[in-house]
C-alpha cells in the first residue's frame, strides 16, 4: 500500500508530467516569447541615443544615428581674415549685376533668399549655407564643386549671379581706398589677389553655423525639451516614416544623391542633376540630400522650389511621390521612395519633430563697406 506521503508525491509527479508537452529526441523546444516593452514612447527616448528603439533601415544603408550639432572647427579663425571675408560677402561691387553673396544668402532668412528660384538667377532654389563646413566635396545641389574655392568662384563669375571676373576684381578693390588696409591687416601686406579674396570668403562662409535646438538639448539629457507629440514624431522619423534612411547624422543628411522624381524646373525643362557632373546615366535626376536643421525656416522646398510647405513635403513622400500635373521623373526614381501609410496624425507628429530642429536666427549686422 502507498502511504499518504507517497500518494501526494505521485500525484504531484503526474500533474507535472501532464502540464508539459513531451519533447521527443531531436525536437527543438519553442522559444520563450519576447518580453513586451510597455514603456511609453517618452520613456523609451528619455535615455542615451544608443538606448533608443532600433531605427528602421532600408537594406544597404550606411547606418548613422541622429546626433546633436557638433562644434564648428572653423568658428574661431583668424579674426582679421574673418572680418575681411564678411565685408567681401556683402560687397556688391565685385560684379556688374550689383549682387553680393548676401543677396542670395541672407542671414535674416537663415542664409537663403526665401524665393522659389535664386534671386541671383538660375533654375534652382537657393540652398542655405548654414553648416556648409561639413559639405566637403558636395557643394551645390548636384555636388559639382569639390572645393569651396570652386563654389565661390562659380558664384562670383556666373553671368546670372554676380557676373564678376576674378582676374579683374583685385584691381577693382585696389581702387577703393578702404580695401588695401583690410588686406594688410588680414594677410600682412596690402596686396589684393584672387587667392586672398577666395580665402577670406571661404573663412567667413565656413564660420557660419546653425544654433542650438530643442532637439540638441533633448539628446544632451534635457528630456523636457520635447513634448510628447514631438517625441512621437522623432520615433516615426526613425521608424515608420523611414526618414532617417536619408536624413541621418548630426546634420540630418547622408550627403548622398537621390532621385525624388520632381525633375521639372520652372521653365518646363528636366533637371539632369548629378548626371551633369558625372555623366553616368544612373545619376540622372539625382540631387544631394539637404540637411534638415532649420528646415522649418527655409521654405520653399525641393531643388526647384516647387513645394511651398513642409506639410506638402511630408504628404508627397508619404504617398510615394505621385507625379501629377507637369512634374515627372527624369531617370530612375529612388528605391527609397515608396508609400508609407502614415496617418494624418502621424504626419503632423513628424512635422512637430522637424520644428524642433529650428534655432534662433543669427543676428548679423551688415558691415560698413570700404569707400
Is residue 246 annotated as involved in ligand binding?
A: yes
Residue 24 burial (CB count, 10 A) = 6
- Quick one: three-class SS letters along 120-170? CCCCCCCCCCCCHHHCCCCECCCCCECCHHHHHHHHHHCCCCCCECCCCHH
Q: Grid coordinates standing for 63?
A: 547606418
Q: In this structure, are residues 200 and 6 in contact, taking their beta carbons and an 8 Å threshold?
A: no
Q: Closest by alpha carbon to 302, among 290, 314, 292, 293?
A: 290
Helix axis angle, 344-355 to 228-238, nearest 10° = 100
Is residue 4 annotated as involved in ligand binding?
A: no
Q: Closest by alpha carbon to 142, among 161, 127, 159?
A: 127
Is residue 101 annotated as involved in ligand binding?
A: yes
Is residue 243 annotated as involved in ligand binding?
A: yes
Q: Grid coordinates standing for 12?
A: 504531484
Q: Grid coordinates standing for 367?
A: 558691415
Q: Grid coordinates standing for 260?
A: 525624388
What is the C-alpha separation between 307 and 293, in angstroms, rounded?
Answer: 18
Binding site as annotated, residues:
101, 104-105, 243, 246-247
Binding site as annotated, residues for heme c:
101, 104-105, 243, 246-247
Amino acid at each position: 500500500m502507498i502511504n499518504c506521503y507517497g500518494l501526494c508525491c505521485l500525484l504531484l509527479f503526474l500533474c507535472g508530467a501532464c502540464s508539459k508537452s513531451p519533447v521527443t529526441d531531436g525536437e527543438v523546444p519553442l522559444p520563450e516569447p519576447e518580453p513586451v516593452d510597455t514603456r511609453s514612447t517618452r520613456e523609451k527616448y528619455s535615455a542615451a541615443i544608443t538606448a533608443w528603439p532600433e531605427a528602421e533601415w532600408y537594406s544597404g544603408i550606411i547606418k548613422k544615428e541622429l546626433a546633436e550639432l557638433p562644434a564648428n572647427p572653423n568658428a574661431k579663425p583668424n579674426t582679421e581674415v574673418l572680418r575681411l571675408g564678411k565685408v567681401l560677402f556683402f560687397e556688391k561691387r565685385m560684379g556688374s549685376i550689383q549682387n553680393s553673396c548676401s543677396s542670395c544668402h541672407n542671414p535674416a532668412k537663415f542664409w537663403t533668399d526665401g524665393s522659389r528660384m535664386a534671386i541671383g538667377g538660375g533654375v534652382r532654389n537657393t540652398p542655405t549655407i548654414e553648416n556648409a563646413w561639413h559639405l566637403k566635396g558636395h557643394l551645390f545641389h548636384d555636388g559639382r564643386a569639390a572645393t569651396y574655392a570652386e563654389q565661390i568662384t562659380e558664384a562670383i563669375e556666373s553671368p546670372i549671379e554676380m557676373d564678376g571676373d576674378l582676374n579683374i576684381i583685385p584691381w577693382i578693390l585696389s581702387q577703393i581706398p578702404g580695401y588695401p588696409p583690410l588686406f594688410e591687416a588680414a594677410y600682412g601686406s596690402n596686396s589684393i589677389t584672387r587667392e586672398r579674396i577666395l580665402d577670406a570668403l571661404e573663412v567667413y562662409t565656413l564660420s557660419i553655423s546653425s544654433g542650438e535646438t530643442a532637439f540638441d538639448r533633448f539628446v544632451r539629457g534635457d528630456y523636457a525639451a520635447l513634448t510628447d507629440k514631438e517625441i512621437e514624431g522623432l520615433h516615426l522619423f526613425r521608424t515608420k516614416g523611414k526618414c532617417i534612411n536619408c536624413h541621418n547624422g548630426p546634420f540630418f543628411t547622408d550627403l548622398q544623391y537621390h532621385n525624388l522624381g520632381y525633375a521639372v524646373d520652372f521653365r518646363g525643362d528636366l533637371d539632369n542633376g548629378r548626371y551633369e557632373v558625372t555623366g553616368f546615366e544612373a545619376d540622372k535626376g539625382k540631387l544631394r540630400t539637404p540637411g534638415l536643421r532649420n528646415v522649418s525656416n527655409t521654405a520653399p522646398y525641393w531643388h526647384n522650389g516647387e513645394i511651398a510647405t513642409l506639410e506638402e513635403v511630408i504628404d508627397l513622400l508619404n504617398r510615394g511621390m505621385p507625379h501629377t500635373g507637369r512634374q515627372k521623373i527624369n531617370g530612375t526614381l529612388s528605391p527609397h521612395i515608396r508609400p508609407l501609410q502614415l496617418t494624418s496624425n502621424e504626419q503632423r507628429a513628424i512635422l512637430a519633430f522637424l520644428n524642433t530642429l529650428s534655432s534662433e536666427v543669427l543676428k548679423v549686422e551688415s558691415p560698413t563697406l570700404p569707400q
